[in-house]
Chains A and B, each alone.
Chain A
Amino acid sequence: MTSAPVIEVSNLTKRFGDLVAVDGLEFSVRSGAVTGFLGPNGSGKSTTLRTIVGLNLPTSGTATINGANYRDLKHPLRGVGAFLDPKSLPKKLRARTYLRILATSNRIPTTRVEDVLDFVGIASVASKRIDEFSLGMAQRLGIAVALLGDPEVLIFDEPMNGLDPDGIRWMRQVFSSLATEGRTVLVSSHLINEIATCAHHVIVIGQGRLLAQGTVDELTVRVDSPVTFSSRDNASLAALIEGRGGTVTGTGENSVTVSGIDAEAIGQLALDARVVVTQLVTLRDSLEDSYFELTEQSLDFKVGH
């Protein structure tokens, strides 16, 4: 991950009257990875994303893509695909018509329209008016809109809202494969678990300020990640773990949850003791924990406010 930053937000502040929505925010997003943009509702995520794509003008500071302001891009859809709000879809137009209008405006070959409709799986309903679409179909159309110009940079604001579990899984796969192709993918969410399994990098904000930025691994070392294991001899393995400074925090029917020790050390202990391990999992909600730990303060402040 030594690529140059693609999206750069530098000392960005955005005020709406007395309200400070974004307050001296600073972060960068690199290519070839999915970057999760996290924060509670009202933390300034949408305002930041809208500023990056030129819908807002910053009060001060800058937000650039490959060093340029979005508003200065000649055919922006060819470089940056963004889908920020299902309301931005024209309800009275047919899905295919809308994509054709967008393609025309950015001199994108109209063959791309059918390509992206096929890719997101709504080709069969593309002749329907958008107001007949379910929320899930509208979100898929939003992905098609973003992908239309085959852009290197993709920006999504809460794309999984209203999706069923299948849709969420599909969308995670889409984001991951786009990043694997070397693109830059920035995805916001207020629900950490939505993107925990596909994001490589995470930016956490609260009250318009940066709380943390780094890889998922970097963020999760802040908290003690619990590990769950099952083995042929849970009791003796648990005793060995406690001997190494680990703490048993829960015992299930077949499994034991411990903290204060990582999965690798447990595996080594089991190998040394010749205990067959049938399951060994570092619990994924550790990122969620670190997220709550980070955002708790900004939420507390808000309640007291």
Chain B
Amino acid sequence: MRGFVATVSAEWLKLRSYRSTFVALGIFVLLGAGFGALTGWSTQHQWATLQPIQRATFDPLFTSLSGIALGPIALGGLSVGFITNEFSSGYLQGTLLAVPNRTRLILSKIVVLALPVAVLAVITSYGAVFAFNATIELAHERVVLSHHGVTRSLVLAGLYMALAITFAFGMGLLLRKTALAVSLFIGIYLAVPIVVQLFPWHWLHVAQPYMIANLGASMISDTTPTGGLNVWVATGLLGLYTGALIVLGVARLQRTSL
């Protein structure tokens, strides 16, 4: 355990030493809170032109968290790079001389990425809700923090971000090339759900709620989205995807000569 704590401390010091870490985290916070303000403002201006059905189904919480849904794009590169940069530069060799237990090294890297991101994402989610409420003047369409499920959503936004960036890290661990892993991650996250809609086959549409972004939508909604999965099923599935990817990545790393 003491050895694990030492490795975590060292990786934490390493992560903090790169300026790009703070750039990525800054973009994430600005995007998250900024979209809260932006969606509040645009809802306020569009409200008069909305159809009754649109007004009835309007989900203030989900709308205010639009920026959080983009979070994995902002932080995916940081997360992938935290392992692929060590592969491509040769630095991993130096790291492994100090920490030859590769499973411990990977788990430590995940801890120092996921924990701060989870905390920051919860704070950013609250910031997004406050910004949304501040820019929308329609009192009845504001997010009420005391409503059932709202606190859960904001906390799960943190867990969602932690899992999503761990998934991105897992892709980096498995693929080892920064550009390949980043493009594939963004592809899986953003492009696949869009492309799938272009095809007429029913089974593809059935797969839709199982895509990462839609699992995230289920997690950060205070109600189950139409056609989406239950919040806990979604959380479990994303955990499963991420865990499987990490297990594969660690298994490959264990067998690799460096």
Query: Taking beta carbons and an 8 Å cutoff, which residues of A are in contact with B?
Result: 14, 16, 50, 53-57, 70-77, 82, 84-85, 87-94, 97, 100-102, 104-107, 145
Residues from chain A with Cβ under 8 Å of B89 in the complex: 87, 90-91
- Contact A90/B91 with A55-B257, A105-B98 known, Cβ cut-off 8 Å: yes
Residues from chain B with Cβ under 8 Å of A76 in the complex: 97-98, 100
Shortest beta-carbon distance, A139 to chain B, in Å? 14
Q: Which residue of B lies closest to A94 (CB)?
A: B17
Q: Which residue of A lies closest to B98 (CB)?
A: A105
- Whether a CB of chain A sits under 8 angstroms from the CB of B13 is yes
- Whether a CB of chain A sits under 8 angstroms from the CB of B93 is yes
Complexed CA–CA distance, A145 and B94 (Å): 9
Query: Which residues of B, 1-24, contact A by the 8 Å Cβ criterion?
Result: 2-3, 6-7, 9-11, 13-14, 17-18
Q: A50-B257, A90-B91, A104-B10 are in contact. List 18 more A-B contacts (CB 8 A).
A: A16-B257, A50-B258, A53-B100, A82-B97, A84-B93, A84-B97, A85-B93, A87-B90, A87-B91, A90-B86, A100-B13, A101-B10, A101-B13, A104-B13, A105-B6, A105-B7, A106-B6, A107-B2
Residue contact B6 to A54, C-beta cutoff 8 Å: no
Residue contact A88 to B98, C-beta cutoff 8 Å: no
Residue contact B100 to A70, C-beta cutoff 8 Å: yes
* Residue of A55, A100, A101, A106 ringed by the most chain B CB atoms within 10 A: A101
Complexed CA–CA distance, A77 and B86 (Å): 19
- Contact A54/B100 with A87-B90, A105-B6 known, Cβ cut-off 8 Å: yes
- Contact A57/B257 with A91-B89, A102-B10, A104-B13 known, Cβ cut-off 8 Å: yes
Complexed CA–CA distance, A186 and B99 (Å): 21
- Whether a CB of chain A sits under 8 angstroms from the CB of B44 is no
- Whether a CB of chain A sits under 8 angstroms from the CB of B230 is no
**Count of interface residues, chain B, beta-carbon cutoff 8 Å:** 27
Residues from chain A with Cβ under 8 Å of B92 in the complex: 88
Residues from chain A with Cβ under 8 Å of B17 in the complex: 93-94, 97, 101
User: 17 A-B contacts, Cβ less than 8 Å apart?
Assistant: A50-B258, A56-B258, A57-B257, A70-B100, A71-B100, A75-B3, A76-B100, A84-B93, A88-B97, A90-B86, A90-B94, A93-B18, A97-B13, A102-B10, A102-B98, A105-B6, A106-B6
Residues from chain B with Cβ under 8 Å of A85 in the complex: 90, 93
B36-70 interface code vs A (CB 8 A; 1 in, 0 out):
00000000000000000000000000000000000
- Contact A77/B13 with A55-B257, A87-B89, A90-B89 known, Cβ cut-off 8 Å: no
Residues from chain B with Cβ under 8 Å of A106 in the complex: 6, 98
- Whether a CB of chain A sits under 8 angstroms from the CB of B27 is no
Complexed CA–CA distance, A71 and B18 (Å): 28
Residues from chain A with Cβ under 8 Å of B9 in the complex: 104-105
Complexed CA–CA distance, A71 and B258 (Å): 13
